[in-house]
């Protein structure tokens, strides 16, 4: 569905100087520099996959998504989506994609969302049967009927985001670009939006590119993660692999049937939970195998229960941002 090979995109940036002389120089002889936003980026995404595309601010995510959606063109390298070169085949290509930008709406501000949907129906030439089926599905999952007659400008952020997401899926696109689709939403609405995206993906097999800073979006919706920074790819794989490769330690909590002093297993000393002295907490580095550790503990004390807490994805990704994939 998506193929990028050695894609590069740069921008010319004016170096602003302060003071009166600096202002004159900015006007008549500005100094510029070239900033490479996307740096030899390569990856492929098969049909029907949901991918989390993440990175720190300024990493090149938005520039990449704009090239994928045909808004920008690459300086060099090759880029194809669903058989199209987005910036070259733009008129034909846009009928096959849906886009949601969390900070901007594609709906008409002074119209009720039902009128906006009717206009999109005409623009995309959506058959009546498909249109009715989609509206019924969107109402069922996103509860659009509760505010369908309101002007878009009168909608809350959560209502507007639900309407925008429905609008992006209205014409049954092959690929969806979601840029911060859950930004500013409360917990309940976020869960509804995630359930909607997963449901549509499972039913129709559309490809979804999910750009977000909310790691729960990634964990609950996407099986694959692409991490970029300074325009280059740092990681490509599953969340499970991310934990295995970059997670420094897991937390093993062992509940015993009887109180005992601090335990040691595989060279790791436990700390006793102050609130529950039957619980022993081990911080286990990734190179130590948990089954071996549990076997050693069970030989020393009677285990009533145990819990394993995997490293949090958000903490791992933050460390990758700070250190880079090679050092994380």
Sequential DSSP letters for 22-72: HHHHHHHS-EEEEEEEEEEEEEEE-TT-EEEEE-STTSSHHHHHHHHTTSS
Note whether 97 and 173 are within 8 A (CB).
yes
- CB-hemisphere CA count at 13 Å for 311? 23
Q: What is the pLDDT of residue 325?
A: 52
| Intra-chain end-to-end CA distance of the chain, in Å | 31
Sequential DSSP letters for 146-158: GSTTSBGGGS-HH
What is the edge-to-edge ordering of all strands in the sheet holding 2-15?
31-45, 2-15, 76-81
SS3 call for 119: helix
Question: Residue written as tokens 């093993």?
Answer: 252
CA distance 4 to 51: 15
pLDDT in tens, the chain (328 residues): 899 999 999 988 777 777 777 677 767 677 778 888 899 999 999 999 999 998 888 888 889 988 998 889 999 999 999 889 998 888 889 889 988 876 677 888 889 999 999 999 999 999 999 999 999 988 888 888 888 888 888 988 888 888 898 999 999 999 999 888 877 777 888 888 888 888 888 888 899 998 887 778 888 888 899 988 888 998 898 888 887 777 777 888 999 988 888 888 898 998 888 888 899 999 888 788 888 889 999 888 889 998 888 777 777 777 777 765 545 4
Tokens linked to 259: 């109180």
Question: Residue written as tokens 């195998």?
Answer: 289
- Domain ranges across the chain: 2-242, 249-310
The CATH number assigned to the domain with range 2-242 reads: 3.40.50.300
Tokens linked to 45: 């995404």
Note whether 280 and 262 are within 8 A (CB).
yes
Note whether 206 and 238 are within 8 A (CB).
no
pTM score = 0.75
Tokens linked to 167: 């609008």
- CB-hemisphere CA count at 13 Å for 275? 0
Note whether 294 and 306 are within 8 A (CB).
yes
> Regarding beta strands 50-54 and 224-229, do their DSSP bridges make them parallel or antiparallel, or are they unpaired?
parallel
Question: Residue written as tokens 């330690």?
Answer: 249
Note whether 287 and 247 are within 8 A (CB).
no
Tokens linked to 117: 């949907």
Give 187's DSSP letter.
Answer: H
């Amino acid at each position: 569905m998506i193929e990028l090979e050695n894609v590069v995109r740069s921008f010319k940036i004016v170096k602003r100087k302060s003071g009166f002389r600096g202002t004159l120089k900015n006007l008549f002889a500005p100094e510029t520099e070239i900033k490479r936003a996307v740096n030899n980026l390569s990856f492929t995404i098969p049909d029907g996959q949901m991918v989390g595309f993440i990175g720190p601010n300024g990493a090149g995510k938005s520039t990449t998504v704009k090239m994928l959606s045909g808004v920008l063109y690459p300086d060099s390298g090759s880029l194809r989506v669903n058989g199209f070169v987005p910036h070259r085949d733009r008129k034909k290509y846009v009928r096959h994609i849906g886009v949601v930008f969390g900070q901007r709406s594609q709906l008409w501000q002074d119209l009720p969302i039902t009128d906006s949907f009717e206009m999109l129906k005409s623009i995309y030439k959506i058959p009546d049967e498909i249109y009715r089926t989609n509206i019924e599905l969107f109402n069922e999952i996103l509860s659009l009927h509760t505010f369908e007659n309101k002007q878009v400008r009168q909608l809350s952020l959560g209502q507007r985001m639900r309407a925008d997401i429905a609008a992006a899926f209205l014409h049954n696109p092959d690929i969806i670009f979601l840029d911060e689709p859950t930004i500013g939403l409360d917990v309940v609405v976020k869960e509804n939006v995630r359930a909607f995206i997963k449901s549509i993906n499972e039913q129709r097999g559309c490809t979804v590119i999910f750009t977000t800073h909310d790691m729960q979006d990634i964990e609950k919706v996407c099986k694959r993660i692409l991490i970029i920074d300074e325009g280059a790819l740092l990681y490509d794989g599953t969340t499970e692999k991310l934990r295995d490769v970059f997670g420094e330690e897991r937390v093993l909590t062992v509940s015993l049937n009887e109180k005992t002093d601090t335990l040691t297993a595989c060279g790791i000393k436990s700390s006793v939970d102050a609130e529950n002295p039957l619980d022993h907490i081990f911080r286990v580095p990734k190179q130590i195998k948990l089954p071996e550790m549990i076997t050693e503990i069970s030989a020393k004390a009677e285990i009533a229960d145990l819990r394993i807490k995997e490293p949090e994805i958000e903490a791992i990704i933050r460390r990758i941002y700070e250190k880079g994939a090679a050092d994380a």
